[in-house]
């Protein structure tokens, strides 16, 4: 985490440095404020878009008292405020968290509650609460914001160093996307690592790892047989389960292989 975080910070400094070389040293306050605004906008829009895309609705406490009591206890043990609980019909058994400490939201799919036992569901909820407690959603948004900033800086370099014709315009788009993709590889590495951390924290919170391991097995089978998933790519990145196979897909995946997660939980 320290190494990858340092690399991302270096990418950001390079992006700001490029802006200062192009527009002068006086641009740095605007570059920093612009970065904060961009990341804040991505955070707000990402949170709103994720909830809207799955049609998340409030989870009634009168109908699901056990789940609410579980969340209250786990939140207290993890030192965070109880997040909002929402339910959605996702087409697959899954769950995800958005927001930050004090303003978190956990979304659970109807399909997930149908296939999991009570202790397994508790393990999944603990995993999502760990993401909120560890500020993982905010961390990922910052990483994505850095990737966007560096990509924009690369585009400016191409445009201002060329003839400003149509060819330079398309070249700038291609180079900007390539640079952004390279930076995102490091962001995705952080995402995969944070999944392991959330698994470990969830195991500590509920006292054992086997319920979450069993839940992941059921979720994996449920996703393999699902035909009508309502999850888009951005929401899938937030979910507790993400499928991946093959070296390239593992490299660009937000989640580590589920088999490795299960093995760690049971060891």
Cβ neighbors of 134 (< 8 A, separation 6 or more) are 194, 197, 198, 201
Euclidean distance between CA atoms 151 and 134, whole angstroms: 27
Q: 128, 195, 224, 260: which one is catalytic?
A: 128
Phi, psi of 85 (to 5 degrees): -110, 130
Residues 6+ apart with CB under 8 A from 267: none
Pairing between β-strand 95-98 and β-strand 105-109 as defined by DSSP bridges: antiparallel
Catalytic (active site) residue 128: yes
Distance, in Å, from the CA atom of 235 to the CA atom of 238, rounded to the nearest integer, reads 5
* Contact by Cβ (8 Å): 101, 132: yes
Residues with catalytic roles: 128
């Amino acid at each position: 985490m320290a190494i990858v975080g340092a690399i991302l910070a270096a990418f950001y400094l390079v992006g700001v440095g490029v802006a200062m070389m192009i527009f002068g040293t006086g641009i740095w306050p605007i570059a920093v404020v612009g970065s904060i605004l961009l990341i804040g906008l991505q955070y707000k829009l990402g949170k709103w878009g994720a909830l809207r895309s799955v049609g998340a609705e409030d989870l009634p406490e009168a109908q699901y008292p056990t789940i609410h009591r579980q969340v209250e206890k786990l939140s207290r043990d993890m030192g965070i405020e109880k997040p909002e609980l929402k339910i959605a019909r996702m087409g697959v058994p899954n769950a995800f968290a958005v927001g930050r400490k004090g303003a978190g939201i956990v979304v659970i799919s109807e399909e997930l509650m149908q296939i999991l036992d009570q202790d397994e569901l508790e393990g999944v909820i603990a995993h999502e609460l760990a993401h909120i407690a560890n500020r993982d959603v905010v961390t990922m948004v910052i990483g994505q914001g850095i990737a966007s900033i560096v990509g924009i800086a690369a585009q400016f370099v191409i445009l201002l160093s060329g003839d400003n014709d149509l060819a330079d315009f398309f070249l700038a788009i291609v180079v900007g996307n390539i640079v952004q993709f390279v930076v995102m590889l490091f962001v995705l590495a952080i995402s995969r690592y944070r999944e392991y951390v959330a698994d470990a924290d969830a195991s500590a919170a509920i006292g054992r790892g086997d319920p979450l391991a069993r839940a992941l097995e059921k979720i994996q089978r449920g996703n393999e047989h699902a035909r009508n998933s309502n999850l888009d790519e951005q929401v899938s990145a937030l979910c507790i389960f993400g499928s991946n196979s093959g070296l390239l897909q593992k490299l660009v995946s937000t989640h580590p292989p589920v088999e490795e997660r299960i093995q760690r939980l049971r060891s």
